[in-house]
Amino acid sequence: MSRIGNQPITVPSGVKVDINGTHVKVTGPKGTLERMIRPEISLVQAEGMISVKCLDNSKRTQAFSGLTRTLVNNMILGTEKLFAKKLLIEGVGYKADLQQNVLTLNVGYSNPVLFNLPDGVSGKVEKTTILLESIDKELLGLTAAKIRDIRKPEPYKGKGIRYEGEHIVRKAGKSASK
């Protein structure tokens, strides 16, 4: 039994949720998000609360109920306040710059790498820190992962692009022979 799927979702004031069959639309002060949910799952809205109901009792449907509850909750939280991810750039001469929606990364390649931020994701660059913000948590995580893939942190010196709080396991270098 899904414990997360059984918990109700509270809808804060200022956020409007429209449920039309399998289509969910959430409108809040920061923007609007839409999503299609699985047909085996229904959402019931009452008195500022949303509950997730399974239409059958299969184990797979119960697993999807927890996923659906989390996705709808993230939509509500995102339209109420922004989600943020911070990326750190480490390495001598490694830097980033943001002009409009084009992120320019100088991370050890012969030419700078240009990365276009998708619609719905905004960014700020301060020296060697990239701050990404969005109302869509899924799009934000995907964008941050694509930026990190440009130059993953290497295990010897730790140079590259990493998430804030990510621990890089270091390896010992070559030892001198006798």
Cα 52 to Cα 65: distance, rounded to the nearest angstrom: 6
Give the model's pLDDT for residue 173. Answer: 83
Each residue's pLDDT tens digit, 144-160: 999 999 999 999 998 99
| Exposure b/e, 106-135, CB count within 10 A at least 16 = b | bbeeeeeeebebeeebebebeeeebebbbb
Mapping DSSP to helix (H, G, I), strand (E, B) and coil, where does residue 115 land?
Answer: strand
Full set of structural domains in the chain with CATH: 3-80 (3.90.930.12), 83-163 (3.90.930.12)
- Check whether 1 has a pLDDT greater than 60: no
Segment 16-26 shows an average pLDDT of 94
Rounded alpha-carbon distances, angstroms, from residue 145 to 118, 138, 149: 13, 11, 6
pTM check: above 0.95: no
